[in-house]
Amino acid sequence: MQSEDYERKLARWIRLEEEARKIRRSEADWKFIEEQPARVKAALKYYVETGDIRTSSRMAEMSIDRFRKLLRQARIPVIV
Amino acid sequence: MSFAIADTCFLIDWSSWRRRNLLFRLFTTVFVPETVLREVESEDVVEWIAGSLASGNLSLFTETPDILGEARHLVERTRLIPRVRGVDIPEAVCLVAGRRRGYTVLTENRGALMAASLLEEYRGVKVWRALEIIYELLRRRLIPAESPAAVFKEYEKETGHIFPKGDLENAVRRL
């Protein structure tokens, strides 16, 4: 069983994750995303939902820094 | 003397900021693990890292087998905890080096932040995002007196990195 402090911290992280997801969804250039090849499109959508850049970049078969540039093009903010 | 160790996501965003070299006013040396260096490919990011390695502001961190062993264990642990964002080897190496050597961990990886906040043995590790670094630069007046909010905004604009609203407001208020 986890302590109250742990649960409080975890709840805060989950709230921050949800806030970040909402911002990514609303800020993203969905037209740009939909125009991308299937693998890249899927990776961008995965990033919008999770914020997990490493898995997303692997999905897109790109290095992390190239995928980061793609996020800028797609107007998907990195929120940390 | 103060030392830090940086992960991939931090270096990529930080290197896009015009004031990126101010990082070296805060830390004597910033270590870059080999696993992190291998992940960087873009010309502009590689150029900044190479130049900073050449000037001695960045230094390559070669992972020892025991650090890699603990990092692998940490990766597995974070993936076994429900609702916690997992970390991968590059961030895990930074957290382990932070714990063992007392380095400040520079990261923009939510998983690394969660691990340092939730896992008891990593709670003592100092983990900074760009937000904390800029805060420290402003607090020590290493950035000329400007509106603190404008400096954070400049970073957001140049890097495409957004700070969580509450954390940003809190940082500006404390300045």
Q: Could you tell me if A17 lies within 8 Å of chain B, comparing CB atoms? A: yes
The answer to whether the Cβ–Cβ distance between A79 and B162 falls below 8 Å is yes
Of B47, B49, B21, nearest in space to B34 by CA: B49
Per-position pLDDT tens, chain B of length 175: 799 999 999 999 999 999 999 999 999 999 999 999 999 999 999 999 999 999 999 999 999 999 999 999 999 999 987 777 889 999 999 999 999 999 999 999 999 999 999 999 999 999 999 999 999 999 999 998 678 999 999 999 999 899 999 999 999 999 9
Q: How many CB atoms lie within 10 A of CB B68?
A: 16
Identify the helix (H) or strand (E) that includes residue B61.
strand B58-61
Residue B40 φ/ψ, nearest 5 degrees? -100, 130
Please tell me the distance in Å from A7's CA to the nearest CA on chain B: 9
Domain boundaries defined on chain A: 4-73
Which residues in chain B are contacts of A25 at CB distance < 8 A? none
Q: Would you list the DSSP string of B117-134?
A: HHSGGGTTS-EE-HHHHH
Residue pLDDT, tens place only, A6-31: 889 889 888 888 999 999 999 999 99
Whether ipTM exceeds 0.90: no
pTM: 0.94
> Which chain B residues touch A51 with a CB distance below 8 Å?
85, 110
- Burial (CB count within 10 angstroms: exposed 0-12, middle 13-18, buried 19+), residue A50: middle
- Among the partner residues A9, A14, A71, nearest to B160 by beta-carbon distance: A71
The domain ranges of chain B are 3-128, 131-174
DSSP A3: -
Please report the residues numbered 18 through 57 in chain A whose beta carbons come closer than 8 angstroms to any beta carbon of chain B: 19-20, 23, 51-54
CATH dotted code for B3-128:
3.40.50.1010
Q: Does A13 touch chain B (CB under 8 A)?
A: yes
Helices (H), chain B: 8-14, 23-26, 34-37, 43-55, 65-80, 89-101, 110-118, 130-139, 148-159, 165-174
